[in-house]
């Protein structure tokens, strides 16, 4: 490994291109928890906090690779459909590389922080009056008709960057392989990426096993969970996905086949959680450990708690939950689920009364 590099490009031997554009992505903290582990009911729980990336989500890892590839190919236009985070990451790397980016978003269903990033970094932002699945279909057609390089996770270069999440976890645990890795599943790219990376390391003999890969979805949007639970060979599209975790409001995961393989080959599984369970886990992460995450991220912890309660995950297991996006991505959700600030006159007695209330 190249000790002069940190983050994604530390693993350049495992990447499909050279570093052409970077904003110091990756190298995110792995927190050992105690109170959260108690709440969940396991002895050993780590949080790999991808919200610490420059744009506040793991998508930066995929985009440093994806946009580097675009530059290597001499391309000047990149595009994606997105529930928000992918668009934020694409636009920052396109800005840094001085190329054009276009993003298609599902109108009204993208958290404010993510739209803010895409428009501030200078992407052409188009909101489609339909959901993410339709936006993805459309951007694929755009990329076939126009000179736009598609950077959704259907592009395998993206997954090559994201697989470094797994490499960092192993190194941060001093080459100890955890029993399970939990993560939220939307388009199913990330679970596939981490699995691919760790399989490469296992095949090289760098590690001797791959953790169980466990994918968590929201109850209103769970085509992957249905396929795992019903032992289906393919994933059936959920036509009207709905959840407060808008990042994973996806009915047709394009990386479905790879993700099914990731869960099945590792003896992993999948579980769904309600929006209420997601919010509860989000508050526990924030208040027990000081880790602020957006709702989709908290689903990994909510799903773990559920599987521990069902007896499907042992209390002695060593678990890593990947929290994929930062709390500030979705301030409107926070305003909806937390107590409002108390507004008062600038009067000392009133303030003291409120403090002692």
Nearer to ligand F0G, 7 or 253 (CB): 253
Q: If residue 133 lies in a helix (H) or strand (E), which one and from where to where?
A: helix 132-145
Quote the tokens at residue 270: 């999948």
Quote the tokens at residue 188: 């199913």
CB of 324 to ligand F0G, least distance (A): 3
**Ligand-binding site membership of 187 (annotated):** yes
Nearer to ligand F0G, 151 or 207 (CB): 151
CB of 354 to ligand F0G, least distance (A): 35
CB of 240 to ligand F0G, least distance (A): 17
CA distance 65 to 16: 8
**Ligand-binding site membership of 85 (annotated):** yes
**Pairing between β-strand 149-150 and β-strand 124-128 as defined by DSSP bridges:** unpaired
CB of 57 to ligand F0G, least distance (A): 5
Q: Which of 190, 169, 177 is nearest to 318 (CA)?
A: 177
Nearer to ligand F0G, 68 or 282 (CB): 282
Nearer to ligand F0G, 71 or 185 (CB): 185
Nearer to ligand F0G, 189 or 197 (CB): 189
**Ligand-binding site membership of 189 (annotated):** yes
CA distance 169 to 171: 6
Find out whether 23 and 92 touch, Cβ atoms under 8 Å. yes
**Ligand-binding site membership of 164 (annotated):** no
Instruction: State the DSSP string of 29-46.
Output: -EEEESHHHHHHT-SEEE
Interface contacts to ligand F0G, rule CB under 6 A: 57, 59, 82-86, 153, 184-190, 247-248, 294, 296-297, 324-325
CA distance 126 to 87: 11
CB of 323 to ligand F0G, least distance (A): 8
The three-class DSSP label of residue 293 is: strand
Q: Which of 297, 178, 301, 312 is nearest to 244 (CA)?
A: 297
CA distance 153 to 131: 17
CB of 348 to ligand F0G, least distance (A): 42
Find out whether 247 and 298 touch, Cβ atoms under 8 Å. no
Q: How many CA atoms lie within 13 A of 26 on its CB side?
A: 25
Nearer to ligand F0G, 210 or 322 (CB): 322
Annotated binding site: 85, 186-190, 324
Annotated binding site for pyridoxal 5'-phosphate: 85, 186-190, 324
């Amino acid at each position: 490994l190249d000790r002069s590099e940190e983050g994604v490009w530390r693993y350049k031997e495992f990447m499909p291109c050279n570093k052409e554009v970077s904003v110091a992505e990756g190298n995110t903290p792995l927190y050992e928890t105690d109170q959260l582990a108690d709440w969940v009911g396991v002895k050993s729980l780590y949080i790999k906090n991808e919200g610490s990336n420059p744009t506040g989500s793991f998508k930066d890892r995929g985009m440093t690779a994806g946009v580097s590839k675009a530059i290597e190919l001499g391309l000047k236009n990149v595009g994606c459909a997105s529930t928000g985070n992918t668009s934020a990451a694409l636009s920052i790397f396109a800005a840094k590389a001085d190329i054009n980016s276009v993003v298609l978003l599902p109108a009204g269903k993208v958290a404010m922080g993510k739209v803010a990033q895409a428009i501030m970094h200078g992407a052409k932002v188009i909101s489609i009056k339909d959901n993410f699945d339709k936006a993805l279909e459309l951007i694929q057609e755009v990329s076939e008709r126009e000179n736009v390089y598609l950077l959704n996770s259907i592009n395998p270069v993206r997954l090559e960057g994201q697989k470094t999440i797994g490499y960092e976890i192993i190194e941060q645990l001093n080459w100890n392989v955890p029993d399970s890795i939990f993560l939220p599943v939307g388009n199913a790219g990330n679970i596939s990426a981490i699995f691919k990376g760790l399989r490469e390391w296992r095949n090289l003999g760098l590690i001797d096993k791959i953790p169980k890969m466990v994918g968590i979805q929201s109850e209103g949007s769970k085509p992957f969970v249905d396929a795992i639970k019903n032992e289906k060979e393919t994933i059936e599209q959920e036509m009207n996905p709905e959840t407060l975790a808008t990042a994973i409001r996806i009915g047709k995961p394009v990386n479905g086949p790879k993700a099914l393989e990731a869960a099945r080959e590792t003896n992993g599984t999948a579980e769904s959680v309600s929006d209420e369970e997601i919010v509860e886990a989000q508050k526990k992460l924030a208040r027990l450990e000081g880790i602020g995450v957006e709702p989709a991220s908290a689903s990994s912890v909510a799903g773990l708690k559920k599987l521990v309660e069902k007896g499907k995950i042992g209390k002695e297991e060593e678990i890593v939950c990947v929290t994929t996006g930062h709390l500030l991505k979705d301030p409107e959700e926070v305003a909806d689920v937390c107590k409002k600030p108390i507004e008062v006159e600038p009067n000392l007695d009133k303030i003291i009364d409120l403090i002692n209330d």
